[in-house]
A and B are shown apart, each in its own frame.
Chain A
């Protein structure tokens, strides 16, 4: 089941057209955009625009920077006024304590396994099913698709009790498969891939491959996967972030915390497992760092993916 707060809709092939430069200036004197690429407006932002954007950027990044600052201090320093605004020398000591005492080392490894498996499963199964729904004719296709879409917006709370019963029945509590299996496929993923493949995969291409005598396996490997690759990358990124940050179900499935994910370990810190505030911040930093790193590396693609997955008007 997907977390619906992260739901998107059909991918949109970029609204790029070109318009002539504006004829009239707005009341606020700003230069006209010389460029002609991209729809939307071509105007240059003024000083005020930049000022507001810089403010929002600071607001977005400050809590994260301050996490690192607090993690590099001692508890006594955090209890003094004014609060610290620059780094101290205690970072590695705190990270070490969080790594061992708060079980963050194990948690990071577990989360990597969980999020990696869920990502691979979701992308693979979504592509296969999405292709079938996009391009193949079979009985009950419409009905089954309706079923998938219908459950897309159902909150995870609605299935959590029976899921817990099932896991207790199988004896899976506190084991990673209890977190992996229920989220291994996603209705949103299937819908996302279907919307993409309808436009991105020409039916003639499939027919041509069929005429050449390609069986389904070869068709998928040589035609569908190459066509679906961009959407698969986007879905992989979105799924990985979601799986890494998933909180509600893991905290119920991994109660005793023998094999925590990062989020379960952080919840343990929140319960006051370690009283030291600077260590708690070090734990929060450790849990966020891998995704932040991914943002530094693939930020552009992730932004593109979210904008592509945005709603079609």
Chain B
């Protein structure tokens, strides 16, 4: 009888000790348990393939037998630099990138400026200009292909015809095809970027405009000297993201060409790097070479990033 309470307290103590031990373990190890599911997938399907691409780019690997790898060193890269189609794709990626990004961001900036006024139905306008973002690359491109039909019953050519302009063979022209592909990109992303600018504009302190107005700045001057400088980080950010997007351009040029061939037009006139990679890997069946292209694209992005960084530093210094 007398031993019962002491046994009880002993049991209690044991239980408490176990509980506090459990609690300590919980605090120490639960963070790892929380990040584990993410990191499991991230390492398996993100990090590992990323690094393995470098290894694969040094081998001859064919699509038919992806497990047979033959070491070739840097030959994939040297062949790439000798390939005219690679340089062509690089040039096209650059020109289509410029044609689509510059007008898109300028229009987005103007659009955001207008949306920043007090408006009736402002939410309707915001949703409406964002709708293209919900349209997939594939659906959008199929529609634009029809609108850019070469004959005069194509919508765009018919519209040009109203102004007495002859029908344009959009797909087979050099510049015209690049313009049409850029138009798809511009249509899909202008509204999206406008909303990002708008969010940044709404964060600009009101008194900046007040004092600019007191100094007698016109609306246009306020836009140039208050809005744009306040938006500089956002503008830089959208430039970076759009550049990355432009480097990867794939769906639009693929579906814009006749029969969705990966050549990017009859004359490769709008074959982008993304398309060139797809053609090398999944049509010519050279996975090793495709890996080399992927790495080259990545290095290109790093290079653009460095230039971007240097330019922005220089601008900040001179400002």
Contacts and interface: CB of A to CB of B under 8 A. Distances in A.
Interface of A: 1, 4-5, 7-9, 12, 14-20, 22-24, 26-28, 33, 35, 38-45, 49-50, 52-53, 56-57, 59-61, 63-64, 66-67, 70, 78-83, 121, 125-126, 128-129, 131-133, 136-138, 141, 144, 147-148, 151, 153-166, 168-169, 181-185, 187, 190, 210, 213, 215-216, 220, 241, 244-245, 247-248, 252, 255, 262-263, 266-267, 269-272, 277, 280-281, 283-285, 287-288, 291-292, 294-295, 299-300, 302-303, 306-308, 310-313
Interface of B: 23, 26-28, 30-35, 37-39, 41-42, 45-50, 52-53, 56, 61, 66-67, 110-111, 114-119, 123-147, 152-155, 158, 187, 189-192, 195-196, 198-207, 209-210, 213-214, 216, 218-219, 222, 230-234, 237-238, 240-242, 244-245, 247-248, 250-251, 254-255, 259-260, 274, 277-278, 281-282, 287, 290-291, 293-295, 297-298, 301
Contact of A23 (B28, B38, B210, B295): B210
Nearest to A285: B139
B39 to A, nearest CB: 7
Contact of A291 (B39, B126, B134): B134
A42 to B, nearest CB: 6
Nearest to A37: B118
A45 B241 contact: no
A66 B216 CA distance: 47
B69 to A, nearest CB: 9
B142 A158 contact: no
Contact of A162 (B33, B48, B137, B155): B48
Contacts of A153: 240, 244, 301
Contact of B146 (A50, A216, A281, A283): A281
Nearest to B258: A272
Contact of A26 (B132, B192, B219, B295): B219
B42 to A, nearest CB: 6
Contacts of B231: 313
Given A17-B206, A151-B47, A163-B49, 18 more contacts: A5-B189, A17-B205, A39-B206, A41-B209, A60-B132, A155-B298, A157-B297, A158-B50, A158-B295, A187-B42, A215-B26, A216-B34, A248-B248, A272-B259, A272-B260, A284-B139, A299-B126, A311-B234
Contacts of A310: 195-196, 199-200, 234
Contact of B66 (A40, A126, A164, A266): A164
Contacts of A61: 128, 131
Contact of B46 (A7, A155, A159, A277): A159
